[in-house]
Structure 1
Amino acid sequence: MKCIDLKCEYQRNPIGIDVKKPRFSWEIVSKKKNVIQRAYQIQCSNNENFEERYLIWDTGLVSSNQSNQIVYKGVELSAFDRVYWRVMVETNEGASAFSDVAYFEMGFLDTQWLGKWITSDVKFHANEQCPILKKNIVLTDTPTSARMYITSLGMYQSAINNNKVNQDLLAPGWTSYNHHLQYQTYDIKDMLVKGENEIAITLGSGWYMGRIGFKKDGRPENRYGDTVAMLAQIEVKYADGQSQIIATDASWKSDQSAILFSGIYDGEYYDARKESTKNYDELSWVRVYKPENQFDIVGQVTPGVRVIDEISPIELITTPNGDKVLDFGQNMVGGVKVSAQGNKGDRIYLKHGEIMLNNEFYNINMRSAKTEVLYTLKGEGVETFEPHFTFFGFRYVKIEEYPGDIDINQFKGIVISSDIEYNGMFSCSNDKVNKLYENIVWGQKGNFVDVPTDCPQRDERLGWTADTQVFAATACYNAMSVTFYDKWLKDVIFDQLPNGAVPFVVPDVMRNSGTCSAWGDAATIVPYTLYRFYKDQTILERQYDSMKKWVEYIRAQGETETLWNTGFQFNDWLAKDGYGLSTRHGATPKDLIATAMFYYSTTILVKSAQILGYSDDIEEYTDLAERIKQTFNYEFVTESGRVSGETQTAYTLALHFHLLDEKNVKIAAKHLVELVRREEHRITTGFVGTPYIAHVLSKNGYNEDAYRMLLNEECPGWLYQINMGATTIWERWDSLLPDGSINPGTMNSFNHYAYGSIAQWLFEVVLGITPNSGFQTFNIAPKPNRLLSFAKGGINTLYGRIESMWEINEETITVSLAIPCNTTAKVYLPGICEQDLDETVKYEIENNELVITLGSGNYVFTYSSNGLE
């Protein structure tokens, strides 16, 4: 028995955290079954040997089964403190030894930066060269410890002695810059040497002042400011106890880089002939800069954007028009690393696109985004280039110019994403469904580039709120997504308007663009989703006022306080039950969707108030929710149980949100399945209905219809996209039409993860894994169907890995489960298998289902398949 995977604030051995009372977690592993933690002991020390004189917190033995979200309560921590910690546990099956030692290191906390903001002596514009800010420093000895704390207005890349410091790309990341800005902390001890060292920081415009968002306000550039600048502080410690601090100030110097232009949408131009050869003494002095906005500078809370993979092209295509196009075989996000040898002034010119149309390169769907790279050679041997401050969503790369013959081995696709842990897994007997799940994960990686975006390729790439909320649960099944969303939710608070409206996009570069149902509901849905998966009460409590303000905003909108029937609505975005290929809003009545989502957000607010103990709000919003339900039934439901609009989404929302009177539930479910069968199991829902429809079918006795909808290969449907060659999830069900032509709509992304929300159903229904709150207790209720012969998968939780598998043979079904230590699962199986259970198994019967309560361990159940759909 041992404790493993110690984490502080969800990270392993983090440095530069700005949480005064950080939280701890660990996993328990044991070969024994039914292991439950009874007590824990945490020790924190400012020295690795944990002698009593060095301890700053020793909990003693605490009677508790809690193994995560445990708040530090020791000696008050100061800026830059390094703390070592370990844990041991007592369980019902014995005690562990103390774990291996972990550590965490504080950031600035409330300490003031010693450095000043500096910028190039020449005022920087987005269409000019990117500047480099430099400092030569002299160290009196080899350091025993060294940290670089750094941030920027715009993006930065840092180097010491020509070695790249930050593995984080696009740093410091995108936040609501008017309110807060992240800094990163890097361990640079091994990069510094005794004597002279060169520090070089290159700056790019990035989201801060480059072209981002739409032009509705006439400001395609300089959304937050018109000057790139940087702030840095280097802290060096020596063996003799002495220390040295190097901070940004007027003594730094500036130069121009060879990056002539770099923008999020348009790409990058690099002229290697302009790489500076100036001596340090020849450089210009920097200019000390005072930012216009007042903002907090906070430590990064989520893993940065990193290179997560490299892909080789699978083919060099010569098109009918004679163009040369590389196919990387996968719609990916990042850039291309290319090598070439040529004469001075030769050029490499690349354009990026997602599809081939009629065997020709196609990137019109990028709209105004140029998505190009232009590299000019200096003519000195083999030269290698990859972009610095931009990224692309692409599968195909058109080579407009290249010196000499094209060798595909000289090209690598560099895949980037926020570097969170992907540990979810799903597979089954249908290879097309397996490809679908693979595409869903690729879509998440491509749209998790520091913020949850709608798409990663065209002139958009914004934090659309609806896309975020419909995919949040799927994202948490696929990966450890909590810190990623934690960062984004802080911006929801900052960018929410005083009246409670939540912008369409966060960060809000569209400047108060508006709000509507299902988009603004991200303010309630995402925090509560994180609570379900991670039991993070800290996030829920921080977001609660924002959640409440959103519900109150809706309450003030309609003709009455329980009906939202005013204003603009995106509605069931891109649903296929409207008319014509260009239909965007679907056929479901917009007032129905708005009021249904109003009810859903209000019920989430009630649950959150119950968790947080806000008794007054529980009473008030329970009453409000009940009155919204009454209004919904009065306005949108007939006496015979029909729901206005008669669409898949209308019935889905009414059933999934429990809006119907009990007498109408079975009737509405029957109407829904009739609609589904009438469409021959083609799905017609849009962004709002899609996340829920399969759940509703399975829950209401139509599990086989949910499976058939999943497995439908006609348009619209998930496997239709697979048959058409998709490697990610499309924005539209028919981004490519059945004849291979492209949908003529002006919005046509081939990497848009909203419809990938079906993976939540794969985990919760097919595999049956559902959290209660944080997975210390959870359900496993798989619903097999003969349309698949097996399904298997699992997820990593804060307690360890949960796995579920089932296989259908001719006469039996075998269910195999893995349950981690310190958790309890309620396993739901058909009542018919009661006679086959071992007499030692404790169970009860609920609603004709067998309910077995299990502790940790591996289990196998085999029962008759008679009666299975």
Structure 2
Amino acid sequence: MHGRLITPVTELGSAPVFRTEFPVDSPVSRATLRISSLGVHEARINGTPVGDDVLSPGWTSYEHRLRYVTHDVTGLLSSQNVLTVLVGNGWYRGRLGFMGGRAFYGDRLGVIAELSILYTDGTRQLIVTDETWTADNSDVIADDLYHGQTIDARLRTEQRTWRLAVRELAFDKSLLTPYIGPVVTRQEVVAPVRVWESPTGRTLIDFGQNLVGWLRFTVTGPAGSEIRIRHAEVIENGELGTRPLRDAQATDRFILSGGSDFFEPTLTFHGFRYAEVTGWPSGVPLSLEAVVVHSDLRRTGTFECSDELLNQLHRNVVWSTRGNFLDLPTDCPQRNERLGWTGDLAVFAPTAAYLFDTSGFLADWLADLAAEQLAADGLVPFVIPDVLKYQGSPPDFPDPDSTAFWSDAAVWVPWTLWQAYGDRTILESQYPSMTAHVRRVRTLLSPSGVWDASFQFGDWLDPDAPADNPAKAKADPGVVATAAYHRSLTLVAETAALLGHDDDEAEFTALAARTREAFNTQYVTADGMIHSDCTTAYTLAIAFDLLDPALQTLAGQRLSALVADSGYRVSTGFAGTPYITDALTRTGHLDDAYRLLTEQGCPSWLYPVTMGATTVWERWDSMLPDGTINPGEMTSFNHYALGAVADWMHRTIGGISALEPGYSRVRIAPRPGGGLTWARAGLDTRHGRIEVSWQLTADGAVTADVTLPEGVTGVLSLPGQPDAELSPGTTFR
């Protein structure tokens, strides 16, 4: 890019807007704008946005990568043109993290751009950011992702001088990189479903869905008057439930000009279902709408069954994915956090890759992971991008090192993308990261060969853990970590074999065998008892192939008994929950898996559904039965991690799983249970769409309709029937 990174010579009292003018005096063949910024930007040519994207260039590991966006702006040019770029704080200079602090990457906002105009006569003109540009104040007088945005419409009518000079900022252009995944865009508009007055006289609005984005509206009112809109996910005691936001203000302010004002706060975002409005002009009907915002992901997978509660659970998983896949995969979209926690994605990636085409989105995030890891001597941080390194370790945590499940994202996520899409380039690009992770963990093993000596999150958020100590789980951290390490070693060994790294394959296969032996020696008794004797311990041992067949049978029996003892309520935490239904199914306890899935008492997947949830909660009891919010300091109502059970629903209820990476060959094996009488599932693959529909007949038999695209074959496995080969087309059974 030929442009320079520019910033105003002095700080402005608002989000700066940069400007240049240029003529076009010949017919244009093509005009392309490439643009990036320190902060988030909105570019316009002659007052028209150059694209549909918002919050660009998003959040990457700015020390290593800064993305730029490319726009075709041919149709926006005229004979005389004005190019303007508004820049807000965004992730670069705004507040980040739950320990306070801002501007971790730098204290100056800036923009770098290059407009290339190709004329029909073959000549080319370049318009680039340099010191001939000017800057001025905008109508955005405050903006922050956590706290909200303030817009003063009176400033729109002021005549700008555009005489504030800009200067060049030192910048390494080699950091510039194109987007691998999609940009963030407006996705849909949601209208209010209810407006009412709270007990304290405040106006509250319910949009019927916990979503991520902002509100927009047009209003006329007295000049200088202010409308304030505060956002939250729940109502508690008749008022807006803001305590889970911690110190995030989540409040937008709009100052009226006296005329007809349109407001849309596009330099922030909020996670909310409810809004509290104050200052709305008297006598003016309340009219506003919610704009849903997230990365522009294509929906690929669908699921529906005869149980409406399970359908709502699945819809909740979809909405939590949408809300937290906003430029990067975050833990939550509402409180003072919104970080790319590696552990959340490690367990949720298979579900996400079914629901949406996440190939580019997650490849982009993995590029940041690899960059952060390389700079940290093989350590995969807790969050990507790693802003925590600027803040110190979270409270009560030691200095970070490789951590099971969280650091394992370096292996599990690229493997998931390979399985989902069949493109080995993701394994090739991430292979150094994958191997660096397992080699670093090898240095952390105890002399006995298990991973039990360093800090672990363990079975985080075990429902039996104290509300103020989510790491105090029933499962021994060493059991959890060693099981996870064995899985990573197995996957890296398979990756090495696929890529032809024979020496590495031998190294990791041998280390996986030693780790498996150490796990059994240290944690498993001769009669199949696993240390700490809890559901997560048995779940991981079964799901991650750590047991010989006889011991696996015993472990399955013990797991079944523990699940029954819990009254079929969830007793696993962050590590065990995504895999427990699979572990039960693999060991012949399908009925237990269904009873666990369909239980409605707390803790369970369906308890939040019965409480009116429209997204997945962070805690099973984020809201208590009496309608009050969990008293813990860490409570989110939009957290996708515990929705990872949808992967089992897709494969076991819907019946779709891949026999070969990318679904070039598939297994269609629905396993009815839980009182279900029918289910439908569909998946857009790289080869075309797979569709499955099954139902129970009056005599209890299963009939299925299966459609496979051209080039895809498979196996149909129905209960009580011999397996049958599937060819492309439609099959009725």
- Normalising by structure 2, we get a TM-score of 0.96
Q: What SS does the corresponding residue of 2:209 show, helix, strand or coil?
A: strand
Q: 2: distance between equivalents of 1:574 and 1:396?
A: 26
The one of 316, 319, 322 aligned to 2:201 = 322
Q: 1: distance between equivalents of 2:81 and 2:334?
A: 39
Alignment partner of 1:202 is 2:86 = yes
**What displacement does 1:804 show?**
1.2
Q: 2: distance between equivalents of 1:697 and 1:630?
A: 23
Alignment of 1:789-804 (within 5 A): 789-804=677-692
Q: 2: distance between equivalents of 1:405 and 1:354?
A: 28
The one of 496, 503, 525 aligned to 2:412 = 525
**What displacement does 1:503 show?**
0.4
Aligned residue number for residue 185 of structure 1: 70
Alignment of 1:398-409 (within 5 A): 398-405=276-283, 407-408=285-286
Alpha carbons of 1:446 and 1:654: their partners in 2 closer, same or farther (altered >3 Å)? same
**What displacement does 1:294 show?**
6.8
**What displacement does 1:500 show?**
1.6
**What displacement does 1:562 show?**
2.3
Aligned residue number for residue 349 of structure 1: 228
Aligned residue number for residue 396 of structure 2: none
The one of 585, 607, 610 aligned to 2:497 = 610
Q: 2: distance between equivalents of 1:715 and 1:262?
A: 39
**What displacement does 1:661 show?**
2.3
Q: 2: distance between equivalents of 1:223 and 1:581?
A: 28
The one of 166, 189, 196 aligned to 1:286 = 166
Q: 2: distance between equivalents of 1:411 and 1:273?
A: 20
Aligned residue number for residue 716 of structure 1: 603
The question of whether the paired residues in 2 share the 8 Å contact of 1:120 and 1:132 is answered with no
Question: For 1:547-573, what per-residue CA distance to the aligned partner results, in whole angstroms no more than 9, with x for missing partners?
Answer: 111111111113227211112111111
Alignment partner of 1:274 is 2:155 = yes
Q: 1: distance between equivalents of 2:157 and 2:222?
A: 19
The question of whether the paired residues in 2 share the 8 Å contact of 1:178 and 1:294 is answered with no
Aligned residue number for residue 813 of structure 1: 702
Q: 2: distance between equivalents of 1:340 and 1:653?
A: 56
Q: 1: distance between equivalents of 2:450 and 2:414?
A: 24
**What displacement does 1:276 show?**
6.0
Alignment partner of 1:372 is 2:251 = yes
Alpha carbons of 1:503 and 1:276: their partners in 2 closer, same or farther (altered >3 Å)? farther
Q: 1: distance between equivalents of 2:501 and 2:639?
A: 38
Q: 2: distance between equivalents of 1:242 and 1:148?
A: 17
Aligned residue number for residue 136 of structure 2: 255
Q: 1: distance between equivalents of 2:174 and 2:481?
A: 35
Question: For 1:228-249, what per-residue CA distance to the aligned partner results, in whole angstroms no more than 9, with x for missing partners?
Answer: 1111111112222222211111
Q: What SS does the corresponding residue of 1:183 show, helix, strand or coil?
A: strand
The one of 718, 726, 729 aligned to 1:854 = 726
The one of 476, 501, 504 aligned to 1:589 = 476
**RMSD (Å), alpha carbons:** 1.5
Alignment of 1:380-399 (within 5 A): 380=259, 382-399=260-277
Q: 2: distance between equivalents of 1:708 and 1:435?
A: 17
Once the two structures are overlaid, the 10-residue window that deviates more, 267-276 or 632-641, is 267-276
Alpha carbons of 1:700 and 1:407: their partners in 2 closer, same or farther (altered >3 Å)? farther
Aligned residue number for residue 298 of structure 1: 177
Q: 2: distance between equivalents of 1:391 and 1:286?
A: 29
Aligned residue number for residue 110 of structure 1: none
Alignment of 1:622-771 (within 5 A): 622-771=509-658
**What displacement does 1:510 show?**
0.5
The question of whether the paired residues in 1 share the 8 Å contact of 2:595 and 2:674 is answered with no
Question: For 1:644-701, what per-residue CA distance to the aligned partner results, in whole angstroms no more than 9, with x for missing partners?
Answer: 1111111000001110122211111000000111112111111111111111111211
Alignment partner of 1:120 is 2:8 = yes
Aligned residue number for residue 468 of structure 1: 345
The amino acid of 1:427's aligned partner reads E
Aligned residues: 721
Alignment partner of 1:244 is 2:125 = yes
Alpha carbons of 1:498 and 1:458: their partners in 2 closer, same or farther (altered >3 Å)? closer
Alignment partner of 1:440 is 2:317 = yes
The structure with the largest helix share of the pair is: 2
The question of whether the paired residues in 1 share the 8 Å contact of 2:702 and 2:718 is answered with no
Aligned residue number for residue 426 of structure 1: 303
The amino acid of 2:351's aligned partner reads T
Question: For 1:452-485, what per-residue CA distance to the aligned partner results, in whole angstroms no more than 9, with x for missing partners?
Answer: 0000000000000011111100001101111010
Q: 1: distance between equivalents of 2:376 and 2:212?
A: 36
Alignment partner of 1:176 is 2:61 = yes
**What displacement does 1:343 show?**
1.4
The amino acid of 1:170's aligned partner reads L
**What displacement does 1:305 show?**
0.5
Q: 1: distance between equivalents of 2:467 and 2:256?
A: 49
Question: For 1:158-192, what per-residue CA distance to the aligned partner results, in whole angstroms no more than 9, with x for missing partners?
Answer: 11111111311110111110011111011111111
Question: For 1:485-532, what per-residue CA distance to the aligned partner results, in whole angstroms no more than 9, with x for missing partners?
Answer: 000000111111543211000000001742411110000000000110
Q: 2: distance between equivalents of 1:603 and 1:783?
A: 28
The amino acid of 1:797's aligned partner reads T
Alignment partner of 1:362 is 2:241 = yes
The one of 21, 27, 47 aligned to 1:136 = 21
Percent identity, please: 38
Q: What SS does the corresponding residue of 2:717 show, helix, strand or coil?
A: strand
Structure 1 unmatched ranges of 5 or more: 1-112, 834-849, 862-869
Alpha carbons of 1:294 and 1:632: their partners in 2 closer, same or farther (altered >3 Å)? farther
Alignment partner of 1:825 is 2:704 = no
Q: What SS does the corresponding residue of 1:770 show, helix, strand or coil?
A: strand
The one of 97, 102, 109 aligned to 1:228 = 109
The amino acid of 2:130's aligned partner reads D
**What displacement does 1:638 show?**
1.0
**What displacement does 1:437 show?**
0.6
Question: For 1:292-331, what per-residue CA distance to the aligned partner results, in whole angstroms no more than 9, with x for missing partners?
Answer: x675211112111000010001111211111111111100
Alignment partner of 1:571 is 2:466 = no
Q: 1: distance between equivalents of 2:65 and 2:157?
A: 34
Aligned residue number for residue 494 of structure 1: 371
Aligned residue number for residue 539 of structure 1: 426
Give the structure with higher Rg (CA). 1
The amino acid of 1:443's aligned partner reads S
Q: What SS does the corresponding residue of 1:721 show, helix, strand or coil?
A: helix
The question of whether the paired residues in 2 share the 8 Å contact of 1:691 and 1:755 is answered with yes
The question of whether the paired residues in 2 share the 8 Å contact of 1:177 and 1:295 is answered with no
Aligned residue number for residue 216 of structure 2: 337
Alignment partner of 1:551 is 2:430 = no
The question of whether the paired residues in 1 share the 8 Å contact of 2:467 and 2:632 is answered with no
Q: 1: distance between equivalents of 2:237 and 2:53?
A: 39
The amino acid of 1:769's aligned partner reads I
Alpha carbons of 1:371 and 1:598: their partners in 2 closer, same or farther (altered >3 Å)? same
The question of whether the paired residues in 1 share the 8 Å contact of 2:149 and 2:252 is answered with yes
Structure 2 unmatched ranges of 5 or more: 394-399
The amino acid of 2:411's aligned partner reads T
Q: What SS does the corresponding residue of 1:144 show, helix, strand or coil?
A: strand
Q: What SS does the corresponding residue of 1:510 show, helix, strand or coil?
A: helix
